[in-house]
Amino acid sequence: MLGSWSIGKKDHSHENRAPKEPVANGSGATEISEESDKAYESLARVLRCLGRHAFALDQLSEEDIEKEFERWARHVLVGTQIDADDSKKPEAGPRRDWGALTQFVNGHRQQEKSYVTRNLQDMRTVLCEFTNIMGRAFVEDQETDQKVTNHLVQLRTATEDGSFHDVKQALLAVVEGISALVDERKERQQQRLENLGEKLRLVEEELGGARKQMTLDALTQLYNRGALDLQLERTAGMSFFSGTSACILMVDIDHFKLVNDTYGHPAGDVVLQQVAKRLVSTFPRKTDFIARYGGEEFCVLLQGADGKLSQRLGERLLDAVRGEGFSYQDITIPVTASVGLAELLPGETVLSWLERADRALYRAKDNGRNQLYLATA
């Protein structure tokens, strides 16, 4: 009895104690771990989404911003350290720096807000100045019209009530007054046009520099996809009206993923930059339009070049790529490329032209890569 009572008393004392924290084992711990993993994955997806849809800021390109968000997404997933050189340094266990992550996201949003606010303010200033100029012109013209009306009223009064001499004097005064007003208005308009022309010239210079930056790919300094789309439309239109030839060369670096996986993404970026330089040296004419199409793919638009000439130039490009390895630090990376070539057909749309060049590129890759394939009609 005493033993039974003692055990019962012991159990009763445990009931009165504060509950213990749950021990991280068993099915409950597994559920908590799964929920944590889902939360990490969701947060990483959010960060990648923010990076993918970011817009370029004053000193940061879209690509740089996306890379930064990607580093933080990996940090959330596996707890890697964040380093400027994009390297992973695993620690003894995942340690996530939530404070630094919060600071990064908050800082980036502040940069975006500052950029948008500043540009909106610039737009408001331009609109305000334009409104003021138009308002002043309208008021000045109204004043001139009122003076003309006053002269005509004086002439009408003299005609109705005055003598012939009064009418003659009033008519001469009206002619002189209106002539002076017309000359004055012409002078104002000429001055206004000169001022607007000067302002437009300055704005054009500023926009020209900004437009060039907006149309360049940040990594390779070639034209970007948006600029290429516009140039393709222009070239197709010019070819239609002038009857000149035009060709597209789609260029893709062979096994580029293997380059990134073997030597790292910084090495891959260097390869892209050096391929861009060899493209520029192979196609040096001012009319040759070279763009980064996306990823490791490039597009060369040749105006006034038929299929035979473009094929010779494409083969020259293949020789330039495979002829000498690409240097990264103290490493030489062998690289080859595949090319799809399509000549614009009479009346062909840009979409069809691009699709034929793209199909030719895939035929070149399917046939063993490191070669050029000419598209058929």
The angle at the Cα of 294, spanning 291 to 296, to the nearest 5 degrees, equals 95
Residue 361: both structure tokens together: 């590129």
d(CA 216, CA 298): 13
Nearest to 252 by CA among 311, 172, 318: 318
99: left (phi over 0), alpha (psi -120 to 50) or beta: alpha
Determine whether 296 is an active site residue. Answer: yes
d(CA 14, CA 102): 43
d(CA 377, CA 368): 22
User: Which DSSP letter does residue 285 get?
Assistant: S
Nearest to 353 by CA among 366, 365, 344, 364: 344
Residues of the chain by 3-state class (helix, strand, coil), percent to 5: 65, 10, 25
User: Which DSSP letter does residue 25 get?
Assistant: -
Residue 183: both structure tokens together: 């000359």
Q: Looking at 63, 143, 184, 296, which residue is catalytic?
A: 296
Catalytic residues: 296
